[in-house]
Every structure is written in structure tokens, then in C-alpha cells.
Amino acid sequence: MELLDQLQGQLLDLLDRAMSEAVQSYPPQGGPPSDSLSKTQEPSLKKRKVFVIRKSLLDELMEVQHFRTIYHMFIAGLCVFIISTLAIDFIDEGRLMLEFDLLIFSFGQLPVALMTWVPMFLSTLLVPYQALRLWARSQAGGVWTLGMGLGCVLLVAHITLLGVLPVHVASEYQLPPASRSVLVFEQVRFLMKSYSFLREAAPGILHAKGGKGVQAPSFSSYFYFLFCPTLIYRETYPRTPSVKWNYVAKNFAQALGCVLYACFILGRLCVPVFANMSREPFSTRALVLSVMHATLPGIFMLLLIFFAFLHCWLNAFAEMLRFGDRMFYRDWWNSTSFSNYYRTWNVVVHDWLYSYVYQDGLWLLGGQARRAAMVGVFLVSAIVHEYIFCFVLGFFYPVMLILFLVIGGSMNFMMHDRHTGPAWNVLMWTMLFLGQGIQVSLYCQEWYARRHCPLAQTTFWELVTPRSWSCHT
């Protein structure tokens, strides 16, 4: 009983802290606006993200021994995969050796991706800031048209470079999935950061009367923003007093472990099942069984992506840069509605969508039609997610688009926040299991179908038509 009381007390303390931090993140509408907000004449319904010093939720939960045990169970699972691989290799080949063929293939031609990243970064570093300085000078000097025109030309060139260069390199060099992931995630990140910087800084310059007090933000603040783990630009952020390098190394090591874990899961649970599926006659039974089989590796992949990126990777960079606000996610695993899940799964992206798609869309609609603004958020998010999948896998198969926009959007309105019982949390997890199973199954089938049944002639409709529908030899 004492153990349960202690655990309950710790959980209640964490919940109270999380609730207070969530309230602090977006202050009430009636609160006093900041100086930068009043200068830009933002609409009254605008809520600005407020950054405060706080830990990531998992770091706080890891202070509880019982949650650390769950973490240890996942490490034990990785050990089991390694032992299984060694045992199978010893039985089949008579030798003990860990092969990383899948990992080596996935990160093939990584230097090409990294070299492509350099001009993408330099363009993001120089062009938006120089465009803003041109606008500021034109306001102060009175040459408004010329400065605005040159700034816009620079931004068009910047967007064109970010849009075309990664796609060209990925298709020209036939980059494998992991190397493509580096390019597409950096492409999307640079575009989102460029927009946030201009969206936050430009109104103050453009609304300045007669060019009085016009001054672009410091270059050092913009340079810091490009690396810190947030998509919302501010001139300053709360900073921690020092860097814990052992914490940085631990998070990078955990991220690497998650990559190895994912390779073992794909190699042991997915490749043997789907590699030859397209060579067998199609049947509904085989399709349903493949989806059910893929639910376990699918949910494992979801958890690994969450832990590796949203916790380990972002916290490592936050610690190196002394970035104080570590709330990159909330307790999404406790969600009883999909609306709460979407808000808490990835707070970094949610803040950007909420600030620049939902709130700006609501402002353009005159403060009305909140559902239309919410649909706009789903549409933008679904299209970007589908683009990422298409870029990484090298083919168009709108599974993510349908699951995210149609099914996820419907669930967002049907499973609203008024449902709080445990049965709704069970239902949400069931939907996540099935959704991940559908994605893993269909994408794996399409991947191998395109290798077993290459096209003799490449036409547009053949490129966008799923090959797994017809490739059954």
C-alpha cells in the first residue's frame, strides 16, 4: 500500500506540473500582449507560444523506478532480437556474426545527402535574413518597391532551391530510404523555420510608420533558431545555465540504439513476411493476415520513432544549445480522443500548425468557421505527411493521406475531448495498432512489388497506380 501511495503521489505531482506548464504555454487571450506583438498589430484572437524552462515528460517519468523498469524491458527486447539473430545465423551458417545489410542499404550514399544539405542550409541561413533586411532598409530609406521586389525574388529562389534540389538529387542518385529521410526532413524543417522567422519578424517591419524604429532581428538569434529544437521563432529563448555532455552522449546513443532496434524489427518481422508476398496469388485472407501480422512491428516502429526523434534527438540538441523548453511532446499515450492525441504527440509541429495555419486561417476567416480552420490544419498536415512518405519510399501510394486525412480527420471530430473514460483510451490504442499495421503491410507490399514487377514503359498513370494491385506472379 505504501508503494502504491508513493507512486500515486508522484504521478499526481507530474500531472499537476504538466497541467500548469500547458496553461503557461498559451496564455489567456485577455493577457497583456508582448512588445513585439503590439508592434505587429496582431489580431486579438492570436495566442502566442510562451517558452519556459521545463524538462521532457519522459525525463521526469524516468525518475520513477517503475517507469525505468518499462524502459529496461524494451532494452531486453533488443537483446532478444540480437540473440535471435546470432542463434539463427549460427544454426544456418555455422558462425556467429551480426549482419547489418539492411542498415547499410538504408543509409547508402549518405555523403551525397549530406553534401546536398550544405547548399540547402546556406540558402536558409542567408536568404530569409537578407530578404528581411532589404525590407527593413526599404522602409527606412523610402525605396519600398525596390526593396520588397528584391526580397521577394530572393525568397522565390530560396523556395525553388529547397523544393527542387532534394528531389533532383534523390531521383538522380537513386538514394535509399534513410538518406532520403535526411533530405526530406531537412527540406521541410528549413521551409517551416524560414516561414516562422518571416512571419514573426516581418509584420513589425512592414507596419512601422515612416520607417521609424525599423530594425531586423540580430543574425545571431536567427542562426541559433536554425539549430534549436523549435519551429517558432523568438528573438530570445529561456536557456539552461550549463551543458550536461553525458546527457547529450546518452541521448545520441539511445537514438542510435533505436535505429538498430528498428532494423532488427524490419529484418525479423517484416522482410520474411512481405519479401515474396507479391509472387503469391492475391487473396483477401492473405491481405488481412498481413495487416494483423504487421500491427506489432508497426506499433514498435511508432514508439521507436517517437523515442528516438521526439525525445532523444531533440533533447540532445536542446542540451547542447542550452535550450530550456523541452516540452517536445505531452502524455499522448493517455489520450482518450484523437484530437488530444494530435495535440500531444508532436508538440513542436503542432505549435507551428496551430500558430500559422489554424490561428492565421481563423483570422483570415474573421474569427469564425473554426471547423474550417481545423480542416485546413488536417489538409496541410496530411499532404506534407504523404509527401514525406512518397519522397522516402520513392513511390506514390496514398495510404498515409487516406488514414490521416479521411479516417484521422473523421475520428478527430467523432472522438472529441468530452470522452475521458478508460474505454476510449483502449479504443484509441486499438485504432493506432490497426493503423500502423495497415501502413506497414501496404507500404511493404508496394515496395517489394515495384522490385519484382518493374515497368517496361514509364507513364504518369503507371507511376501513380499501386503496383501491388497487379503484381502477383
452 is catalytic: no
C-alpha 398 chain-centroid distance: 18
Q: What whole-number distance in Å separates Cα of residue 335 and Cα of residue 346?
A: 13
Q: What is the DSSP letter of 217?
A: P
Closest CA to 274 of 254, 288, 257, 294: 294
Residues with Cβ within 8 Å of residue 25, at least 6 apart in sequence: 49, 50, 52, 327
Q: What whole-number distance in Å separates Cα of residue 398 and Cα of residue 388?
A: 11
Q: Cell numbers at residue 368, please?
A: 469564425
Helix (H, G, I), strand (E, B) or coil at 359: helix
Q: Which of 158, 207, 385, 472 is catalytic?
A: 385
Q: Cell numbers at residue 201, please?
A: 519578424
Q: What whole-number distance in Å separates Cα of residue 298 and Cα of residue 109?
A: 26
Q: What are the φ and ψ backbone dihedral angles of 325, each rounded to 5 degrees?
A: -85, 105
C-alpha dist (Å) from residue 228 to 52, 223, 315, 323, 469: 14, 9, 10, 7, 44
Amino acid found at 359: Q
Q: Cell numbers at residue 311, please?
A: 525525445
Q: Do you know the residue count of the chain?
A: 473
Find cell 532488427 and name the residue.
Answer: 264
Active site residues: 385
